Structure 1
C-alpha cells in the first residue's frame, strides 16, 4: 500500500503573501520523490474546512484584511481545529497565519480574538520588523533562512517553545531573540520566502511528524538536497558576512 498524507491548505486565494503557496508545492514534491502521495485539499472562502482526516494543515500569511476574513471563518471551526492540534495533528502557520494561532492579535487599535490553539498573543509595535532573517532551530541541521515583514510582536506563553533563536534579523518581537513557536506538532513562524524551498529540513520535519502520527513511523528516505542547501548556505553566508544591504 502506498502511503499518503492529506494536506489541508486553508484559503490560498487570501493567504499567499510572499509566495507562501510554494510551501505546498515543496511538501507535495518531497513526498513524490519518496514514492509517497500528497492529497491536497484547498479550502476556499465560503467553504467549511474539515480536519477529521487531515494530516497537515497549512495557513499562510496575508494582510490585516485577509487575516480578519480567515479568522472569522476559522473561529466557527475552532473546536475541531483545536481537537486536531491536541491530537498531534501537524499545523504549519506563517506570519499572519502564525498570529491567528494565539489568543488575540491587534489590528490597528482593535484587539481581535484569535483561535487560542497555542498559548501566545500578538500586539503591535513600531517600526515594522522587515528584512532577511536567520534562525537556528533544533528541528533541522541547517539554519532556517527567509524574509520577515510584520508589525506584530508575538509573545509566547509558559510551556511554548520558540522555533529557534535569531542570529540575523528580528524574530517574534525584535527583543527576546526568539523566532516562531513549537507546540505539540504546531509550527508557527514569521519566516516567508516562501519558507520551505530553501529550508528542506523544515519540510521534512513536518512530513516526518505527520507520517509518525498517521502510520506510526516517521522515518524518511534521504533525498539529494544539494541544490536546496547550496541556496540556503549562500544566503546564510552573505547575511552573516554583512553583504546584504537591508532597506
Structure 2
C-alpha cells in the first residue's frame, strides 16, 4: 500500500492513501475512484479530492483507492466515484467493468453510496449506444439508456434535487432516457439535462447517483458531498453519521450567486 498526501493518477490499483497514520478519528472510510486515467477528463478527480478532504474535516480517516483496468477491486469500499470520458475511454474500461460488475451490483444493493458522472453514469445504465452505432452493455444499476448524438449539450446547469439546488456544468453528446419508474437525480431549472426535452437530469437508485454534472460538482455543492459521506460513514462504522462543524459559507455564496445569475 502506498501512502501519499494526495491522490496521484497512475498509482497501481489497490494502492490507497490514508489521510492520517494509524486509525485515528471516528473510523476509516474507504473511497474507491474507478478508472481515474480513462474516465476523468473533465476535472472529476476533484470530486475524489473534495470527498477525501471533507471526510477528514468531519473527523473520519479517508482511505482513497484508485481502481485501474485489470487490477483487483479493493476489499473495502464504502464510497465509489467515477467520472466522465470519451467514447474511447468507455470502450477501454468496458471489459474490466464487466469483470467487476457483480461486485459493484452487490455494493449498490447493500446501500453503498456511489456518484457516477457522465460517461460512468452512462455505463451504470442498461446500454450506451455510441454515435457510430456500437452498443456497450451497462451494469443495469440505473434504469437508463443512452444514445450518442452528433450534437453536444454544453453549458451551466441548475437542478432542483432532494439535496437542494445543485449547480454544475454539462458537456455530453449522449442523450439519456429514464426507464419507467426510474427516478431522476434532479429536475432541470436551467440547462439541458438528460436529453434536453423531458426536464430530467441524472438518475438515482438507493444511494447510487448518476449525473452529467461536471465542475467538479461536489466542491460546488457541499450538501450533496456530505450526503454521500454520511451514507458512507454509516456503511463504514455501523453508526449514525457524526458530522463535524464545517464552514461552507464561501461555497454557499458561490452556489447562490450562480443560481441567481442563471435563473434571473
Same fold (TM over 0.5): yes
1:224 Cα offset (Å): 1.1
Residue 200 of structure 1 pairs with residue 218 of structure 2: no
Residue 39 of structure 1 pairs with residue 63 of structure 2: yes
Q: Which runs of 4+ in 1 moved over 4 A?
A: none
1:26 to 25, 50, 54: 50
Distance 1:45 1:80 in 2: 15
Matches within 5 A, 1:11-160: 11-50=35-74, 52-108=75-131, 109-125=133-149, 127-138=151-162, 140-141=163-164, 143-160=165-182
Which one is further off, 196-205 or 122-131? 122-131
1:7 Cα offset (Å): 0.3
1:126 Cα offset (Å): 5.1
Distance 2:217 2:93 in 1: 21
Give the TM-score, by structure 1 length.
Answer: 0.91
Residue 7 of structure 1 pairs with residue 26 of structure 2: no
1:174 to 187, 193, 196: 196
1:84 Cα offset (Å): 0.9
1:164 Cα offset (Å): 0.9
1:158 Cα offset (Å): 3.0
Deviations along 1:145-188, one digit per CA (max 9) or x if unpaired, are 11101111111223321111100001011111011111011010
The question of whether the paired residues in 1 share the 8 Å contact of 2:57 and 2:244 is answered with no
The question of whether the paired residues in 2 share the 8 Å contact of 1:71 and 1:115 is answered with no
The question of whether the paired residues in 1 share the 8 Å contact of 2:156 and 2:167 is answered with yes
1:137 Cα offset (Å): 0.4
1:90 Cα offset (Å): 1.1
Which structure 1 residue ranges, 5 or more long, are not aligned?
A: 242-247
What RMSD, in angstroms, separates the aligned Cα atoms of the two structures?
1.5
Size of the alignment, in residue pairs?
238
1:225 match: 248
Q: Please state whether the residue corresponding to 1:30 is helix, strand or coil.
A: helix
Residue 189 of structure 1 pairs with residue 211 of structure 2: yes
Distance 2:189 2:245 in 1: 27
